[in-house]
Chain A
Amino acid sequence: MKQGKLILGLGLGLGLALLLVIERVSATALWLRAQTFVTIFLGIFVEALPFLLAGALISGMLSQYVAPSWIQRLVPRQPWLAAIGGTLLGLFFPVCECGVVPVTRRLYQKGVPLSVGVAFLLAAPVINPIVIASTYAAYGWGPMLWYRIGAGFVIAAAVGGLFHFAEPATVLRKHSEHHSHHLAGFETHTAADVKEPADGTTPRFWLALSTGGDEFLEMIYYLIVGCLLAAGLQVLVPQATLMTLGTGPFTSVLAMQALAFVLSICSTVDAFVSLAFVNAFAPGAILAFLIFGPMVDLKSLWLFRQVFEKRAVAYLVILPFLMTLLTALLINSWGA
């Protein structure tokens, strides 16, 4: 962790130095950028807060009202079917990429298999009801809506299915300070059904809320780090440069994936944002923006670290990245 902070600090310092040297930014311009940084940081942070809280509270409710045994009965035994089950769960849960992380973590504590959690984590921000509604509002019943739902579904299920082959102990982060049953695979998880209130007098509802509150306070730390990074990159990386890279059918997809990653926009509204690029970019590139961005972005990456080990987080970035790229290229080549 210390090493990570050091690298982060060095990276930011280096970025700043580069800016000063290469762009010969004056003190006033630097001040203006600092102001822009604060405004963008607060903007992303404030906009993400309600969604993180919603996710944390849903997680709190799950902790008190849903017994692991129910989930274990519901989840299919066959790994690929289980992954599809996780994806379907994403279709109905109205959580975006901030809220989905605490819910996923809770699901793991309740003993869902790896594949289900990963499929849910990736699917919910792309194909939940709110996202479908906003994509419909932006694109109508056009192919973009169906591509987004279809490809989002397939990619989430595929990555989830692949995680079935991983060892839970190497994927899920251990929380030593609490939740001794945190590392939950089917096999290891037997006890700890719905918890009874500790002192027997606290109503379950309040207990659920305070569990959600705890979850929120734990996640908000990572949200802040993610927002700082996203705002920093927004100020440092000229978007025009990103755009000029993206003219070809291949590079345009990469450019839009990079943009989605850096911008870290909430998935419930990214369809509207993508409209700004419709004229300049191939449909595949727009689709890549709409699928890759919600699944993985700079802000949610830090939240992922609350649930997963570093290597697993790397896979959670690389696999959706490659699959989205492939899908987008296919669509671009069909369109051509």
Chain B
Amino acid sequence: MESRVKSLTLLATALFLIYLLLTGKILLLIAARFLWLIWLAAAGLVVTALSYRTLDGEGPHGCRLTWSRLALVLAPLALGILTPAAPLGSGALANREIGTVFNTAPPLGSRSVRQATERRETTILDWAIAFAEAQDPASFEGETADITGFAYQPDYLPQGMWTVNRFVITCCVADAMPVGLVVRTDDKAPPPNDQWVRVEGHFTTAVINGERVSVLVAETVTLVDLPRQPYIY
């Protein structure tokens, strides 16, 4: 009996991983480059679960699987399946403002990270790195940009300005670092926090908190759906 429960628990964990992989929810949790590892783990769990079939009865060794333990082991599975999938957003921004110091230190500006990251479009991260390397915000005056991220209205920005943000992750959401750009829409109302937007516009500069930074003057702001890969790697 106990062998069967263990086998089923392992199988359930494997199915949970496969569920995350097939629904794409996994991309809200970990970096795409580790997906193969999750496939491998799911396969390993299935084989391990099958190994119990070869045992008679209790098997020669015993980890006691009590009901309370079983409930705790299955809790993350239920949590992952039942709760609505949500990427990190403004709720995490409030707590991780290291990377949002615009134009100062590059959050992940190191060469090796950039080499390890494949990007086809110019992201917020690219701009943040470019700003940090150039030092002078005025040198970007008039340059056009087309970026996608989620909107957030920090308290310190004046009326008519808000930020568009992405999280940069290396491994999983535990190491997420936010990067953001200030957007100026003047009299238009800012989108609600966490709304994904595509902003097209050109750069100018403004003084925020006593520091001159680049600001994207929005020409168009389009509300878009959550991308399949919300994070930048």
Q: Do A and B come from one complex?
A: yes
Choose one: B90, B92, B99, B194; the contact of A276 (CB below 8 Å).
B99
Q: Contact at B171–A265, with CB atoms within 8 Å?
A: yes
> Hey, what's the 0/1 contact readout for B28-72 against A, CB within 8 Å counting as 1?
111000100110110011011101101110011111110001001
Bound-complex Cα distance A269 to B176 (A): 13
Choose one: B10, B20, B28; the contact of A39 (CB below 8 Å).
B28
Stretch at the interface among A146-154, A160-168, A211-219, A310-318: A211-219
Q: Which residues from A are CB-within-8-Å of B175? A: 263, 265, 269-270, 273
Q: Contact at B110–A212, with CB atoms within 8 Å?
A: no
Assess whether B1 is interfacial by the CB under 8 Å rule: no
Q: Which residues from A are CB-within-8-Å of B22? A: none
Stretch at the interface among A72-80, A83-91, A186-194, A230-238: A230-238
Question: Which bracket fits the contact residues of B?
Answer: 35 or more
Assess whether B15 is interfacial by the CB under 8 Å rule: no
Bound-complex Cα distance A212 to B6 (A): 12
Q: Contact at B172–A53, with CB atoms within 8 Å?
A: no
Assess whether A57 is interfacial by the CB under 8 Å rule: yes
With A43-B30, A178-B63, A217-B65 already in contact, the answer to whether A272 and B171 are too (CB < 8 A) is: yes
Assess whether A11 is interfacial by the CB under 8 Å rule: no
Q: Which residues from A are CB-within-8-Å of B76? A: 41-42, 45, 224, 227
Bound-complex Cα distance A197 to B106 (A): 58
Q: Contact at B6–A33, with CB atoms within 8 Å?
A: no
Interface residues of A, count at CB 8 A = 74
B-binding residues in A (CB < 8 A): 29, 31-33, 35-36, 38-47, 49-50, 53-54, 57, 137-140, 177-179, 195, 197-199, 202-203, 206-207, 209-218, 220-221, 224-225, 227, 230-231, 234-235, 237-240, 243, 263-266, 268-270, 272-273, 275-276, 278-280
A-binding residues in B (CB < 8 A): 3, 6-7, 9-10, 13, 17, 20, 26, 28-30, 34, 37-38, 40-41, 44-45, 47-49, 51-52, 54-56, 59-65, 69, 72-73, 75-76, 79-80, 83, 86-92, 94-99, 105-110, 112-113, 116, 170-175, 177, 194
Q: Which 10 A-B pairs have the closest CB atoms?
A: A32-B91, A43-B173, A209-B51, A50-B41, A198-B60, A269-B171, A47-B172, A43-B172, A36-B91, A43-B29
* CB-defined A-B contacts under 8 Å, sample of 29: A29-B91, A31-B91, A33-B94, A33-B95, A35-B89, A35-B91, A39-B86, A42-B79, A42-B80, A43-B173, A43-B174, A50-B44, A53-B45, A178-B62, A178-B63, A198-B55, A209-B47, A210-B59, A215-B63, A217-B65, A218-B63, A224-B72, A237-B95, A240-B95, A240-B97, A240-B98, A269-B170, A275-B108, A276-B99
